[in-house]
Amino acid sequence: MVWFKRKLEGIQTSTKNKKEIPEGLWYKCPKCQTVVTTEDHIANFFICERCSFHERIGSEEYFQLFFDEGKFKEISKKLSSGDPLEFEDTKKYVDRIKQTQKKSGLTDAIRTAYGKVDGQDLVIAAMDFSFIGGSLGSVMGEKIARAIDQAIKLNAPFMIISKSGGARMMEAGLSLMQMAKVSAKLNQLSNAKLPYISFLTDPTTGGVTASFAMLGDINIAEPDALIAFAGPRVVKETIGRDLPQGFQRSEFVLEHGFLDYIVERQNLRTEVSKSIRMFMN
């Protein structure tokens, strides 16, 4: 028996009249599944207010976070990779570069800029994971080198924000050469008596970790960032043993002496400003 039957027209909303929630209005934390508005998530520095999960952000967000009033001047903005090896896997390297540039709005996996942090000069090289996994190639090495030259010219501290999957395989040996190139340029920075702050974010792996990411006068990191040469899965398969809890996360790396401290993103600007003042005075 049907106890209740709708007889009146218009009582039930038709599908075409249902209001859709605009895409991007809500953010769902991948770690604890907490849902908040995107506006609140951005206001909280892209950190989950419940579990403190730090979402990956790009160079633009870090520049806005660090530089006074979000004002900065970009260095070597138009540098882009060539294809000296004429590399091709599932697609040509030149085509992959063009597609990634179009999708990300970036010319390569790093942006370099200088500006003021609490009135103090600072040059920053910030990697973007959205561009072929933040991979280290010839352009990244060259842009870091030019940024170090700018830091020396300005007599300013230098900072690298690492977020990388390692060396770019499509450039083979040319990519690996950048490890030595950047390390040599950092030696010039040291000879100029200027500090190098290495800031490691999730993930910092491969050749970047094996070289300049670990050469800072101070090495700092965001919470729970993966910091490694080879990832946990590769290590586990190689040694055939289960790994300790939190293996290769920033807390584990700090405990074993490879970091100076871990800093939450909302405190990052204050802590770096304090370090700059200590070094420069």
Whether 16 maps to a domain, the answer reads no
Could you tell me if 185 and 251 lie in one domain? yes
Could you tell me if 161 and 102 lie in one domain? yes
Could you tell me if 94 and 195 lie in one domain? yes
Whether 14 maps to a domain, the answer reads no
**pLDDT of amino acid 186:** 98
**pLDDT of amino acid 279:** 95
Whether 147 maps to a domain, the answer reads yes
**pLDDT of amino acid 281:** 85
Could you tell me if 72 and 30 lie in one domain? no
Could you tell me if 66 and 139 lie in one domain? yes
- Are the CB atoms for 167 and 207 separated by under 8 Å? yes
**pLDDT of amino acid 232:** 87
Degrees, nearest 5: CA angle 167-172-175: 45
Nearest partner of 173 among 138, 133, 211, 205, judged by Cα: 138
**pLDDT of amino acid 10:** 46
Q: What is the mean pLDDT of each run of 10 residues along the chain (281 residues)?
A: 46 44 78 94 94 95 96 96 92 96 96 97 97 96 98 98 96 96 98 98 96 97 96 90 92 96 96 96 85
Strand 218-221: give its sheet, edge to edge: 72-75, 110-117, 120-127, 158-164, 196-204, 218-221, 261-262
Whether 8 maps to a domain, the answer reads no
**pLDDT of amino acid 179:** 97
**pLDDT of amino acid 24:** 67
Encode pLDDT of 88-128 as tens digits: 999 999 999 999 999 999 999 999 999 999 999 999 999 99
Could you tell me if 73 and 159 lie in one domain? yes
**pLDDT of amino acid 163:** 97
* Whole-structure pTM value: 0.89
Whether 1 maps to a domain, the answer reads no
What CATH number corresponds to the domain at position 129?
Answer: 3.90.226.10
Q: Domain span at residue 30? A: 23-55
Instruction: Look up tokens 């501290």; give the residue.
Output: 157
Whether 63 maps to a domain, the answer reads yes
Could you tell me if 185 and 271 lie in one domain? yes
Encode pLDDT of 168-201 as tens digits: 999 999 999 999 999 999 999 999 999 999 999 9
Alpha helices in 67-200 (DSSP H): 93-104, 138-154, 172-191
| 59-66 helix and 265-280 helix, angle to the nearest 10 degrees | 60
Could you tell me if 140 and 248 lie in one domain? yes
Could you tell me if 199 and 127 lie in one domain? yes
**pLDDT of amino acid 269:** 96
- Are the CB atoms for 221 and 200 separated by under 8 Å? yes
Could you tell me if 34 and 142 lie in one domain? no
Could you tell me if 49 and 64 lie in one domain? no
**pLDDT of amino acid 23:** 57
**pLDDT of amino acid 18:** 43
**pLDDT of amino acid 14:** 46
Q: Which residues contact 208 (CB under 8 A, 6 or more apart)?
A: 127, 134, 136, 162, 164, 166, 167
Structure tokens at 141: 């090495």
Total domains in the fold of the chain: 2
Whether 7 maps to a domain, the answer reads no
